[in-house]
Structure 1
Amino acid sequence: MDVYWELSDFDIHTRQQGMEKLLKSLKTLSSDDNNEKSVSSQIDYTISRLIKGLVSNRKCARIGYAATLGTLASLTDHQLKIPSADELISLVQNKLTTKKETGVEDAKNVRIGRVLSYIALAYTQKDNDLSILLQKIIPDLLLIRTQETRRRLRAFIDASIIQLAKWSGRKLFKKEILPHIQKLLPTNWQMGDDGTKSLLLFVSLVNLYPKIFNQEYFQSHWNNNMLPLGKTNDEQMIIKKSLQSFDNELHLLEQLCHELLVYAIRSQQLTLFWPILVDELSNIGLDSNKGHILLDLITFCFQEQENSNSIDTIEIILDSSETLFREIFDLLSSSGRKMHQQASIVLSKDAFEKFAHTIANRPLEERLRLFEKLLNCANKNYTCLHSVANFITEKLTIDELLVYIKYIIRLFCATSTDDESALDRRRHFLLELLSNICHCSSFNLKDNTCGILFENILAICVLLANFKLHNHIPKQYREFLHENIEISDVTREHIEDIIYKFLMYEFHENQYEHSFNVFQKSINWLQSTKHFSPLFKNIEEIKLYLNEQSKELFQIIQGNMIQSLPDEKLRLAFQQVFILSFYDLFVDFNRAKQYLDDLMTCVKNARTQLVLKKKTKEESSWIEVFIDILLSMDTKKQHDIRSIIKKIYHQIAPYVNENALKLMLQTITVENESDDEDNDDDEDEDDDDESDEDQSDIEEEELMENDDVNEDLRQAVEKALGDAVAKEDQENDVDMDDEAMLRLDPLIAEAFRSQIKRSSNIKIINEKLHHQFRVLDLIESVIKKDERMRFVLISIRPLIETLTSLPNTSAYKTMIERIDSILCHLSNRKIGHLDMPTTDECIELFRYLTSLAGSRTKLTTETLSKVSMFVIKLCLHVGKLEDRLAGVEETILTMYEGGFLRFLQPNLSKEKSEKKKNKQKDDDEDVDESMIHQAVVHPSIIKDFLLRFPEYGTRLMLLMVQTALKETINWKKRNIVCGTLNNFLNRKQSDHMDEKLLKATIDLLVTMCNDPKSAKMGSLHVITVLTQKLLLIRGQYKPSFLLCPETYTWHRIEKCIPLLNTHRYARFESDPTKVDDNEETNIEQLKLRVNGRLITPLQLQALNENYFYYFLEILTTFAKFAGRICANRMIIDLN
């Protein structure tokens, strides 16, 4: 029985397992010669059960039984004596009949079961002669079709006939099937609704056997040479009506459209049929079910086919459906993805992926032609075209690269639309494709051909971005540019960005020569004003500067000045920064000129210091000047420039000195201007809190998104308008004359100017914040990787000061988290061995960290603790090297002792007069010393210190415990001391605990136990754990008796140990008759809660006897283990 349940399971794998079990059981029976009758009866029962299961209401059951029946027919075991397929068909036809009294639903199941059995049996015999089976199956299928009025079931029978036609072969189909089904095949597009004709069956058979349904057939039945697909308007209307008749059967509509599309492609009628199909399926949008069918059909047409017509098919579809593909591009855009269904997006992506795969292996000419057609459909959304372009360029050879680049430039120069913004978007996309050519697998800058090609592309970009052509194109670029081209300012800015992309690619290849050659050419264009008009500013100044300095500049780049430097990376870094400065002349002449002047001096000083080993007269070393230039360049908005600067920085990182690092640290420092303004008002903590909150609110408002409605602007305009603002509660609006309106104009203008100024401030803050992030990345690489410990030491304090000075707003949240992460990394860093700081420097930093422990700051206690532990480790290491270890240890312990003692002191009200006195001090050192003197150390820092440096714990813990014994210390702080002591007393410390500390700890426990406020669960837990550790230390925790788990009597441990070594559970009481004296045996005294009422077990028995006996054993067990006293006091909730 289980096997038949598995055959009807929803999961196909379970049905297969059931089928295998059934066949295995039959084969097992057949192996026994004495059970021949049993085998025969078992087979008859199995076949009968399978045939009956064909009329099940469950689809999966019908499929499972039909498949098993077909599998039985295919068995060749003669011992089983299974009936043949012909005999099984007769059995099915005899047992599955529709009588008059049978219900409509039962009749439907019978017909479906018969059809499924025919298909299953024919499938098992498809490799043999099907003629006999077809003679029985086809007439019965047609009879069932005439009896069935439901369109879905008729289509199911049509699909079965199509499947039989595939298995039978052309000759057998023509002989056994076609004569019987001829009446089902339509002879024109005018078909009734009675279902006697099947268009789906006809088109499927036409595609299956085109030699049978040839021109002669259509001439005799359709009076045409082929199946017409919309030559005339009448035919188009009829075809649309035929498709619309399937609106309620979408799966049939999809099959029919697929078959018609296949026939249209084969008969070369796609140009006629495709617009009909698109118009019908896309009329209610691509998010509809019909729209999904259309997207599936596009994917089918785009997929690579064996014949050569696939490209023609794609061309016809692209030429005929420009509007449709524009909708698909809009759907895949960033805004479209928020508005459309996920299914539509996935289907559209699949279509373009198939398109890309299909054209990838085609000749380049075909690839480019189809890509242009698709590009013309895009209009404004080009995101999804990047993947298609990648497939086009993936297998380009070096010779094809030139053709591809020429083609892209030709598309760039073409003016395809009158809409300037649309043209700009198209050109921006083409520029991106042009820049991506460098990432092609065959493109290698070291190859001479690729180098020349790269130089030509870069030169064309520089020419178009910075010069206007006067009907003259340089000779070497005429193969790319054929005529003058008008470019908008927006596109020129984008070309400038592309120029830096090319520079970045060449710099990443550790080269600069091509960019340098292009700049030299641009100087010649600058001199030739007859043919080229510069579009940048300061033209005369640039000409004068280059005339005077170009020779020296070029000599430095290519001469011995840079080549004599000892490091290849350093030489390349100087050359690349020179190139960046050259190209910056066209953007910002004054700044670029300053860069070049500083670079010339910088190179000379670097050569003097690194090669000649001499000192220079300048106050700043060459590396500081170089870092300053890089930091200035890093403020530019182009992302590619910033990537170049980051790479150059890593090349010169070994030469960075302390002053250069401090220069970088100054860049990330945020000055909180409001602190200076509000200094006089900070006389108490309340004022500080209000000031901080006000500053936070201001910052938050400044950094809000501009898309939201600005309340301040609304209020300003409302104030300017005054009574002119129409209120909702006013009955009549106020009419204003011209003079009143003129008086209001300046006020309204001032309100809008204020809003514009605020937006500008937001932009400046964001740009500054992004720049600080980039510099922080560079500093992080120094802290994490550089072996020079002085660098690490001098970075900690500026990072902490930056962190504490950042406004507490959402805009700076990421910055705060990033600095916090960098500081936490220090705790796991190994101490290096280069450029070690002095002991005094380490101690000074430690004092600073200790002073922060009690202050209000964004620096978390966890981060402060980790940094402090690293600094302590560094202090001890350096102190040991300088033979000052004892003094360092004393300083650290003294600082932490004083800090924790101040933590334990009771909270006293702070006197304002004392604060005012401190503010009047002018000496900053005195103020710092006062802060350090009053520092408070958090217990978590002490905890980490004890874990990392346990050798110093005894002295510190003794002072803490002795202080906690004072009467002024409250129970909460004593509890903290106990917790800290508990962490300190690990197994290693317990072996040799100091006697003074042990005695003081015992006194502290006694004090806490006598304190009624220590009765809370948290305090009791700490006291209990600490007491256990003290007992272990004293050696008094030696168990002498154990409790018997059954009688609850005490027994000596010497007697219990042998029993426990033998058994997991043991009764220690030797008297078997003895029981627990306190055991409750009378359950009548128990209290039960049932539905909110308190009752006894006897009352429960009276209410529901079955319920009582169900709980009787549980109640007895509870009374036994709870004991007499507890059992009578507790309430058992039976709800």
Structure 2
Amino acid sequence: MIPVAPQGKPATMDKTVFRFFDKFTSADEATRVRGACELISFLASEPEKKEKERAYALKRLIRGVGSNTNASRAGYFTALVGYLEQVKDTELCPGIMEIFGLVKSELSDSDKDGDDDDKQAQLKVELRIGKISVCGAIIGTGLVEGASDLELQTVLKTLKKGMHKAATPLAIMYLSELVKRIDTKKFTSVLWPVVEPKLNVAKEEQTMDTIYFLLAATSAHKKSVNKQFFQNNFGSPRMFHEFNYPYLANLLWDIKSTVTINHPLYDYLLEQLVEQDKVASFWTHGVEPILKDEGSEHKFKDIVALRVLITILNRLKTFQSLPELLSPGLLEMVLRKTKNFAQLSEDVRELYQEAFEALIQCYPKISDEECKLQVFEKLVSAPSSVLIEKYASNKIIQNLLATLSGESVQKAAQILKTLILSDNEAVLNQERIHATQALQKLLYNRHVLAENDWRLGHIKFFLNMGVFYSADGQKILKSSKNQSALSAELVPTMKSSFFHCLEQRHSKLADEKTFLLSIVEYVHEILEGSGVKTLRVPLSDEHLQYWHRMYKIVNGKQKNQQNQKLATVFHILVLYMGLHLFSDPDLAASSIAELESVMKRVQGKKSASKLAIKQNGTTAEPEWIEVVVDLFLNLMSQNSHLLRRVIGHVFPHLSAELTLTAFNQILSVINLKDKTNPLSVDEKGDDGADDSKMETDEEDDDTSGVESDGGDSDGKSSDSEEDDDDDEEEEDEFSDDEDGEKVTDKMRLAIQQALGGANPE
């Protein structure tokens, strides 16, 4: 109770209290909140001297919650709740009956007669809302928790009396909050008898508000609402029953405005379903029929579906039900909408992205690998599509793959392979292309780096499909039986993926040679057994001879063990050139010839005779390293990411052999003054090629041909060049001497970029 002021001279009320109330009627929420805070702060300072101010303020606040505008009601309600919250644990807190005394005087019908029937009816609605709001403030601040039965009955009767048309949802919302704040005894003896007559009706007459109340009641007081009540009104022994799920789902979807999605029933119902582990059954029996019903009249079907999905995903503790949530109806709807993503409104696009993000956040929490694989298969297969990432500019598939174990990665690869080879005409070529790129990237997932045989098998799959005639990536077909082979539209992608796989470096030269040799042996066996007719683009007799020369070189015995390392480097180069015959045969053939010549010179130690030749006055032949550098410069000028990777990998192992002439050969193609370097990578090329195959529209590049082995450029080199260019921005301001010093430094960097920065083994 409010303490009585000591007797004596009556205190004068501080008129400052009047100036706060004008802010409560502002249309700006921030202004209303600021006014409430200022009033509460004013009343809290020197409270023993502000009895009259408190009494006046409380009276004004209670009168104000019955205002005729939403903004004004909201402002006064905010201040009333804030004030009661401030004083509830002090002697200054007004009692519940005292508050209702003010309700009777300030929100009385008799004191507010209207001029006509319409105004009178509107006035009654406003007064009902005001009385209900006061009850809401008492409940929301917790004053009701210590209430006597009489006080509780007063609150309940006020709420029940206010349940009329527009005010009913507000009253039931506060009743639902009250249910959670009282014990079961009071609920059974006081609350339930008051509200049961309003709720004891068939489910067709129930609303979101009454269902929300029943859920709150059965959750807080489990056995207080008996089975007979649900059996009579819902035809099932409890609210969460398979028979009831279609009704509950339709209740959520049957809305006239998106504002309704903010109703507390959505969060509370879904939260209870998750806690009781019934969300999968609810989705299957209630949600999925709505999503699959093409004739559905639900105006906001996709928006409600996304909001429901997001709410569930954000509350899941275990994820066994996740594959069932990604139902055919949901995936078909999402794919259809994301195909026309740009045509959706910004708010709807953000809602889709929020749903994708909620799904992504689940991935690291899933401990069951089988569950992850089920989710993956659902996302990449019809009625969804592996292209869903491209349509929605999201990484819901890539992020899932990043969480898989090594064994699951291999199973995911098999799922992609099955999709690529599917004979289902509904699978688009674009889907097969994207799946191929995803599979190629998956081969170098960090969890399967040690699975060399498994990876080699898939590389041969790409080889068989892209270079040879094959229908399944296993059996090689002759050209006369190629009707069943892979569609020609997909061949460039397969071929490109094969060459992309060759770009991956090995830690040791010997391992790289073994890897390449195994592929070359495999190809040689096919050519020897079935001939060039098995090739999509047959080699000419001349080019086939170069293949045999390459094969003879790499299988020949090394006589000079001192040159073992050099021999390995040259063998790697020759092996790459041999495989390059299937991409650019003329370039590969000439390169094989040059490498063969150089190897003979190295083995025959012809370079050692250079001095003798000079002494005899004969024009000396170029050193073998100079021939190699010239070859490298030629290869690096080609539009081939693979060739640049190869040279960048092996060149450091030859750097000790560089001569001044070879060094000058390199410098001659690097123009430091105008910042151009033909050996460096075009900044518009493949910046991070390995990490973006599923993120960019590589299909266009892959289907245009494979002359460039993927047509990508080295991202790291590009990044380094950009940094160098930034450093050169202000170079012109310096003197010539300073410029010369900087050129020397940049020259070293340019050479390193052009020829590879790896340290020799």
TM-score (norm 1): 0.49
Q: 2:421 aligns with which of 401, 413, 432?
A: 413
CA contact (8 A) 2:290 2:296 kept: no
- Letter paired with 1:523: H
In structure 2, how many angstroms separate the alpha carbons of the residues matched to 1:187 and 1:526?
81
CA contact (8 A) 2:363 2:400 kept: yes
- Structure 1 252/471 Cα, relative in aligned 2: closer, same or farther at 3 Å? closer
In structure 1, how many angstroms separate the alpha carbons of the residues matched to 2:197 and 2:490?
66
- Letter paired with 1:328: K
CA contact (8 A) 1:465 1:493 kept: yes
User: 2:343 matched to 1:339?
Assistant: yes
In the alignment, which residue of structure 2 is the partner of 1:349?
353
Alignment of structure 1 residues 391-402 onto 2, 5 Å: 391-402=399-410
Q: 1:144 aligns with which of 136, 159, 162?
A: 162
Once the two structures are superposed, what CA deviation does each residue of 1:1010-1061 show, in whole Å capped at 9, x if it has no partner? xxxxxxxxxxxxxxxxxxxxxxxxxxxxxxxxxxxxxxxxxxxxxxxxxxxx
Q: 1:268 aligns with which of 259, 281, 290?
A: 281
CA contact (8 A) 1:359 1:366 kept: no
Aligned-residue offset at 1:95:
1.8
Aligned-residue offset at 1:456:
3.1
- Structure 1 626/517 Cα, relative in aligned 2: closer, same or farther at 3 Å? farther
In structure 1, how many angstroms separate the alpha carbons of the residues matched to 2:740 and 2:269?
76
Aligned-residue offset at 1:245:
6.6
In structure 2, how many angstroms separate the alpha carbons of the residues matched to 1:83 and 1:53?
17
SS at match of 2:388: coil
In structure 2, how many angstroms separate the alpha carbons of the residues matched to 1:180 and 1:775?
76
Q: How many residues align?
A: 655
Aligned-residue offset at 1:394:
2.5
In structure 2, how many angstroms separate the alpha carbons of the residues matched to 1:610 and 1:827?
50
Alignment of structure 1 residues 143-222 onto 2, 5 Å: 143-146=161-164, 149-150=165-166, 153-185=167-199, 187-191=201-205, 197-206=206-215, 209=218, 211-212=222-223, 213=225, 215-222=227-234
- Structure 1 13/562 Cα, relative in aligned 2: closer, same or farther at 3 Å? farther
Aligned-residue offset at 1:494:
0.9
User: 2:300 matched to 1:292?
Assistant: no
Alignment of structure 1 residues 221-236 onto 2, 5 Å: 221-226=233-238
CA contact (8 A) 2:464 2:473 kept: no
In structure 1, how many angstroms separate the alpha carbons of the residues matched to 2:606 and 2:104?
102
- Letter paired with 2:379: L
Aligned-residue offset at 1:140:
0.9
SS at match of 2:496: helix
- Letter paired with 1:218: F
Alignment of structure 1 residues 934-949 onto 2, 5 Å: none
CA contact (8 A) 1:634 1:645 kept: no
- Letter paired with 1:352: F
Alignment of structure 1 residues 1116-1131 onto 2, 5 Å: none
- Structure 1 470/5 Cα, relative in aligned 2: closer, same or farther at 3 Å? closer
5+ residue gaps, structure 1: 31-35, 192-196, 331-335, 476-483, 566-570, 671-762, 786-817, 837-1135
In structure 1, how many angstroms separate the alpha carbons of the residues matched to 2:675 and 2:56?
89
- Structure 1 120/342 Cα, relative in aligned 2: closer, same or farther at 3 Å? same
User: 2:520 matched to 1:519?
Assistant: yes
- Letter paired with 2:432: R
In the alignment, which residue of structure 1 is the partner of 2:99?
88
- Structure 1 602/282 Cα, relative in aligned 2: closer, same or farther at 3 Å? farther
- Structure 1 68/258 Cα, relative in aligned 2: closer, same or farther at 3 Å? closer
In structure 2, how many angstroms separate the alpha carbons of the residues matched to 1:359 and 1:186?
44
User: 2:128 matched to 1:111?
Assistant: yes
Q: 2:78 aligns with which of 64, 77, 85?
A: 64
Q: 1:595 aligns with which of 585, 588, 591?
A: 591
Q: 2:64 aligns with which of 45, 53, 65?
A: 53
User: Which structure has the larger Rg over C-alpha atoms?
Assistant: 1
SS at match of 2:202: coil
- Letter paired with 2:591: Y
User: 2:149 matched to 1:122?
Assistant: no
- Structure 1 452/275 Cα, relative in aligned 2: closer, same or farther at 3 Å? closer
SS at match of 1:490: coil
SS at match of 1:489: coil
In structure 2, how many angstroms separate the alpha carbons of the residues matched to 1:546 and 1:587?
13
- Letter paired with 1:373: K
Aligned-residue offset at 1:367:
1.1
User: 2:503 matched to 1:504?
Assistant: yes
Aligned-residue offset at 1:835:
11
Alignment of structure 1 residues 438-457 onto 2, 5 Å: 440-444=445-449, 449-457=450-458
- Structure 1 783/52 Cα, relative in aligned 2: closer, same or farther at 3 Å? closer
In the alignment, which residue of structure 2 is the partner of 1:906?
none
In structure 2, how many angstroms separate the alpha carbons of the residues matched to 1:573 and 1:215?
81
In the alignment, which residue of structure 1 is the partner of 2:684?
none
- Letter paired with 1:129: G
- Structure 1 611/356 Cα, relative in aligned 2: closer, same or farther at 3 Å? farther
In the alignment, which residue of structure 1 is the partner of 2:755?
none
In the alignment, which residue of structure 2 is the partner of 1:973?
none
In structure 2, how many angstroms separate the alpha carbons of the residues matched to 1:281 and 1:200?
29
CA contact (8 A) 2:598 2:627 kept: no
In the alignment, which residue of structure 2 is the partner of 1:745?
none
In the alignment, which residue of structure 2 is the partner of 1:635?
638
Q: 1:658 aligns with which of 655, 661, 664?
A: 664
CA RMSD of aligned residues (A): 5.1
CA contact (8 A) 2:543 2:581 kept: yes
In the alignment, which residue of structure 2 is the partner of 1:323?
332
In the alignment, which residue of structure 2 is the partner of 1:960?
none
Alignment of structure 1 residues 354-373 onto 2, 5 Å: 354-360=358-364, 361-373=366-378
Once the two structures are superposed, what CA deviation does each residue of 1:367-400 show, in whole Å capped at 9, x if it has no partner? 1112212222234733259723333332334444
Alignment of structure 1 residues 750-899 onto 2, 5 Å: 825=731, 830-832=738-740
In structure 1, how many angstroms separate the alpha carbons of the residues matched to 2:197 and 2:454?
68
In the alignment, which residue of structure 1 is the partner of 2:54?
43
SS at match of 2:534: strand
In structure 1, how many angstroms separate the alpha carbons of the residues matched to 2:262 and 2:717?
62
User: 2:466 matched to 1:465?
Assistant: yes
Alignment of structure 1 residues 564-579 onto 2, 5 Å: 577-579=573-575
CA contact (8 A) 1:229 1:272 kept: no
Aligned-residue offset at 1:442:
3.4
Alignment of structure 1 residues 644-655 onto 2, 5 Å: none
Aligned-residue offset at 1:105:
5.2
Once the two structures are superposed, what CA deviation does each residue of 1:766-794 show, in whole Å capped at 9, x if it has no partner? x99x99x9799989989997xxxxxxxxx
CA contact (8 A) 1:561 1:603 kept: no
CA contact (8 A) 2:376 2:412 kept: no
In the alignment, which residue of structure 2 is the partner of 1:489?
488
Once the two structures are superposed, what CA deviation does each residue of 1:1103-1131 show, in whole Å capped at 9, x if it has no partner? xxxxxxxxxxxxxxxxxxxxxxxxxxxxx
In structure 1, how many angstroms separate the alpha carbons of the residues matched to 2:85 and 2:227?
41
CA contact (8 A) 2:172 2:213 kept: no
In the alignment, which residue of structure 2 is the partner of 1:375?
380
CA contact (8 A) 2:176 2:216 kept: no
SS at match of 2:146: coil
User: 2:143 matched to 1:134?
Assistant: no
Bigger relative contact order (CA 8 A; separation at least 6): 2
CA contact (8 A) 1:8 1:61 kept: yes
| 465-474 vs 496-505, which moves further | 465-474
